[in-house]
Structure 1
């Protein structure tokens, strides 16, 4: 059973999902400031932006790059960071934390 896995971090993520994430994260105005294209600055909408980005490779590449830079490494790889309490060292073991609670 040889299954090849894609090394593309955008594999399985639609352009619409990427655009919706960026709009939610930055809003149209800030998105237009970060990537200066008319579909983000002049009466922006998801549908008009998708239409433009699907036809324009250089603009799509900029949007994809911004998306990849915007999400954390852990989100891209499906891993969650361990939650830590304020002032707690990430290298501190569960055993050390349990002993501190008993004191």
Structure 2
């Protein structure tokens, strides 16, 4: 697999009180060839109810600053996937995952 196709995309969403959804994605390099299953397992085992997280604690960009409350608003993890898209975050996926290891 080429380095570009080995990039990993982290997909997540913010659901506001009216149930409107805003989707986000972060694309990381994957120099250590972390498998999607491994990345997912690390994340899911540390999420609130295996699904939710506080974005600031996890190092995830805020999607809706106008309505966001850092103390109460949770974001939802959707999935990891391989992508040929260019990175939009300077961290390697392993560095990003380390945020969840201490979460």
Alignment TM-score > 0.5, same fold: no
- When normalised by structure 2's length, the TM-score is 0.32
Q: Which is greater in Rg?
A: 1
Which protein has greater RCO, CA pairs closer than 8 Å, 6+ apart?
2
Normalised by the length of structure 1, the TM-score is 0.32
Q: Which has the higher helix share?
A: 1
Higher strand share: 2
